[in-house]
Amino acid sequence: MIRIPVHADGRGSLAVAELGGVLPFPARRAYWIYGVPAGASRGAHAHRKLSQFIVCVAGSARVTLSDGRTREGVVLRSPAEGLLVAPMMWEEITEMTADCVLMVLADAEYDEADYIRDHGQFLRDAGA
Ligand code: TYD
């Protein structure tokens, strides 16, 4: 989890994720997930090379990460913090509230070949 600097004043708050400050990589792609129906889950895959930075800009969601040996979940509920997801981490997103918006910054363009969508394959590739 990375704390994001916030500039707050009487007009509200502005949070900044800048390369070298909060962001450990140059973002080459941004996407956001929203409008997820109650009980639906997202993710359930890993990336071979991609690094991602996930910010819950509204609502809340649980993100569970596993390296094949250890599995840990965190609830994202603040636009002032981001979760860094390294390559070769199995990622599951659950418990998204109706108002949840997850913004994701990624260090590469979309490439389906970078995904591992089969959990057994992930465990084999992770050497777990
Ligand atoms: P998917 O990886 O299944 O979403 P999630 O990780 O939230 O479970 O992606 C959903 C669809 O969107 C799938 O058809 C691939 C497409 N997609 C893109 O075209 N570009 C992107 O940058 C991303 C993340 C997904």
At 99, give phi and psi (nearest 5°): -95, 5
Length of the chain: 128
From the candidates 7, 45, 47, 119, give the one annotated as an active-site residue. 45
Residue 26 has pLDDT above 90, yes or no: yes
Which single residue is written with the structure tokens 């992770």?
126
Question: In the prediction, which pLDDT does 122 show?
Answer: 98
- By most ligand atoms within 8 Å of CB, the mutation choice from 29, 34, 42, 91 for ligand 1 is 42
Average pLDDT over residues 99-110: 98
Average pLDDT over residues 87-116: 98
CA-proximal residue: ligand 1, atom 2 (nearest): 43
Q: Which amino acid is at 61?
A: A
Average pLDDT over residues 103-114: 98
Question: In the prediction, which pLDDT does 104 show?
Answer: 98
Question: Within a 10 A sphere around the Cβ of 30, how many other Cβ atoms?
Answer: 10
pTM, two decimals, is 0.96
- What confidence tier does 128 reach under pLDDT thresholds 50, 70, 90? confident
> Has 119 been annotated as catalytic?
no
pLDDT of 51-97, one tens digit each?
999 999 999 999 999 999 999 999 999 999 999 999 999 999 999 99
Average pLDDT over residues 40-61: 98
Question: In the prediction, which pLDDT does 23 show?
Answer: 95
At 110, give phi and psi (nearest 5°): -60, 130
Helix residue ranges, H only, the chain: 119-125
CA distances from 115 to 29, 44, 45, 59, 93 (A): 16, 10, 7, 27, 16
Under DSSP, the state recorded for 37 is P
